């Protein structure tokens, strides 16, 4: 925390000389004490045509006094390409309200409310930031700009590291939610997806739809686009990579997941998933939070929480749950 606001720069030197970077201030907000997660080894490495994933979740406890997040990361790819895009479906322990169409730097526009969970459907444009392309290649639209508006912003104010979010404007504590991510058609007219005056790549794009059904609310559809040459399928090993991040502030946050399924282009039917494995993504002591399996109404669910005693499962540990 003592480094909050400190200014850092980097000097890069080679045979041509030395160049100094810009000197941005460092923002230190809180110490992360736990990061864990799990994925699903449901397909062999040779499979490369995953076109859909789905799952249900529920925030069952939320006393957050510091931002906590459980997120699902889906990596989009096309065989032979070295460029990757992402679709994120993040469960926050708070809500952030803002108007549709906002363009900003970090922190995002809006009013943040603690202990009122929300879901964020998002697409970060990491290839643009890392110099693999000359313009952004991903964007998102919403079918409900009032309850699920979109804003675009610089991630941590890093140059060209853009992300577009669509966040629920209502609390989802205790509400069962079903999320489906599915491959759509190709398109070349992307004018309706252009945001903030940012240049977008030309060519054929692939559309992906995120359909979110929150109990008691109308379903919402978020449309994500990315170049078809780089984002035609979901990488099998990253189809359902869930992670948990609990910051050091007080308050319990618990999320449960179940009803997992996937679809392939070669077999376009929803196939249940019950065999899972833990990820090795973890940087805490493992004593005060965890991911484990709980039974609710006779059905197994995977539970993330920072409840003391829920120790983190070791990385690469296979386990199974009973599908509904």
Domain boundaries, the chain: 30-320
Name the pLDDT band for 54 (thresholds 50, 70, 90): very high
Name the pLDDT band for 52 (thresholds 50, 70, 90): very high
Q: Tell me the pLDDT of the chain averaged across its residues.
A: 88
Q: Which of 147, 294, 312, 300 is nearest to 244 (CA)?
A: 312
Mean pLDDT calculated for residue range 215-235: 97
d(CA 202, CA 206): 12
* Residue 181 CA: distances (Å) to CA of 118, 121, 173, 217: 18, 10, 22, 18
Name the pLDDT band for 307 (thresholds 50, 70, 90): confident
Mean pLDDT calculated for residue range 313-319: 78
Q: Which residue has the tokens 């979740």?
A: 57
Is the predicted pLDDT of residue 230 greater than 90, yes or no? Answer: yes
Q: Which residue has the tokens 């609390």?
A: 171
d(CA 65, CA 72): 22
Q: Which of 51, 16, 36 is nearest to 303 (CA)?
A: 36
Range scoring the smallest mean pLDDT among 15-19, 187-191, 278-282, 298-302: 278-282
Question: 244 or 117: whose pLDDT is higher?
Answer: 117
* 215, 219, 220, 221 alpha-carbon torsion, rounded to 10°: 130
Name the pLDDT band for 31 (thresholds 50, 70, 90): very low
Q: Which residue has the tokens 């099998």?
A: 236
Mean pLDDT calculated for residue range 80-105: 95
Mean pLDDT calculated for residue range 46-72: 92
Is the predicted pLDDT of residue 38 greater than 80, yes or no? Answer: no
Confidence at residue 212, expressed as pLDDT on a 0 to 100 scale: 98
Confidence at residue 324, expressed as pLDDT on a 0 to 100 scale: 55
Q: Which two tokens stand for residue 100?
A: 């549709």
Is the predicted pLDDT of residue 102 greater than 70, yes or no? Answer: yes
Q: What percentage of residues in the chain have a pLDDT greater than 70?
A: 91
pLDDT, tens only, 181-193 = 999 999 999 999 9
pLDDT, tens only, 1-15 = 677 788 888 889 999
- The pairing of beta strand 150-154 with beta strand 102-104: parallel
CB-based burial label for 229 (10 Å; 0-12, 13-18, 19+): middle
- Per the DSSP assignment, residues forming a β-bridge with 255 are 59, 304
Confidence at residue 32, expressed as pLDDT on a 0 to 100 scale: 45
């Amino acid at each position: 925390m003592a480094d909050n606001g400190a200014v850092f720069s980097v000097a890069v030197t080679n045979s041509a000389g030395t160049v100094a970077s810009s000197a941005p201030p460092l923002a230190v907000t809180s110490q992360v004490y736990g990061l864990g997660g799990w994925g699903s080894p449901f397909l062999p490495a040779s499979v490369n045509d995953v076109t859909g994933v789905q799952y249900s979740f529920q925030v069952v406890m939320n006393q957050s006094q510091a931002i906590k997040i459980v997120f699902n990361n889906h990596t989009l790819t096309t065989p032979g390409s070295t460029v990757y895009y992402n679709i994120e479906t993040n469960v926050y322990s708070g809500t952030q309200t803002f108007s549709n169409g906002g363009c900003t730097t970090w922190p995002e526009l809006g009013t943040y409310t603690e202990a009122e969970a929300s879901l964020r459907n998002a697409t970060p444009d990491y290839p643009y930031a890392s110099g693999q392309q000359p313009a952004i290649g991903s964007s998102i639209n919403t079918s409900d700009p009032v309850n699920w508006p979109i804003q675009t912003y610089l991630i941590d104010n890093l140059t060209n590291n853009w992300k577009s979010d669509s966040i629920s404007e209502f609390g989802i504590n205790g509400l069962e939610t079903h999320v489906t991510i599915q491959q759509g058609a190709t398109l070349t007219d992307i004018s309706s997806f252009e945001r903030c005056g940012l240049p977008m790549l030309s060519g054929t794009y692939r559309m992906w739809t995120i359909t979110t059904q929150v109990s008691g609310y109308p379903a919402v559809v978020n449309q994500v686009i990315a170049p078809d040459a780089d984002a035609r399928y979901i990488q099998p090993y990253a189809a359902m990579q869930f992670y948990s991040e609990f910051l050091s502030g007080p308050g319990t946050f618990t999320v449960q997941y179940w009803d997992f399924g996937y679809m392939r282009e070669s077999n376009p039917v929803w196939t249940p998933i019950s065999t899972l494995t833990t990820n090795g993504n973890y940087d805490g002591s493992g004593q005060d939070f965890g991911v484990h399996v709980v039974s609710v109404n006779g059905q197994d669910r995977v539970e993330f929480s920072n409840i003391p005693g829920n120790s983190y499962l070791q990385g690469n540990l296979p386990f199974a749950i009973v599908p509904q």
